[in-house]
Amino acid sequence: MVCTRPDIAFAVSQVAQFNHQPKPAHWTVVRRILSYLKGTSDFGVTYHTELDASHIRLAYSGSDYADDTSSRRSTSGYLLLLNGGPFSWASRRQQCVSLLTTEAEYVAMCETTKEVTWMRRRLDSIGPPQVQPTIDNSSRKVPSSCSTSGRRSNLPIC
């Protein structure tokens, strides 16, 4: 089911780590996932057939800084879209321990770029080539309230 439902892939992979000894909290998460599936059974993925702006391949990347409290490793994820629908996605634990949120985002973007490069080569060989950039970096704008004094500030990991 995870192969056809990218919206639950991360939640299922997280709860699957406790298959050997599930606790009541894990069963609660499983029930929430099943309830979500029941409520979204009519939803689906739509791919557009027109070769217009929606044909542009897009990639989204993100990370969750130090979300694993035992190892302090971050989680990276990406989603690649083609004709308005997802065709490649992943969410996995990073191999390194990032010291800053920026570093975790950089590692996630690197993994996304590798996937985009591989996919673009495959898709360009079977369809019209894409000349526009693939990665959407619009969410990486620095808010005007952030200090640009050159000093790094680290947030505590609780």
* Whole-number pLDDT of residue 32: 95
2-11, 32-41, 66-75, 101-110, range with the lowest pLDDT: 2-11
4-13, 33-42, 94-103, 121-130, range with the lowest pLDDT: 121-130
End-to-end C-alpha distance for the chain, whole angstroms:
33
What does the pLDDT look like over 18-75, one tens digit per residue?
Answer: 989 999 999 999 999 999 999 988 887 777 776 555 456 788 888 888 887 778 889 8
CB 101 within 8 A of CB 65: yes
Enter the CATH code of domain 45-137. 3.30.420.10
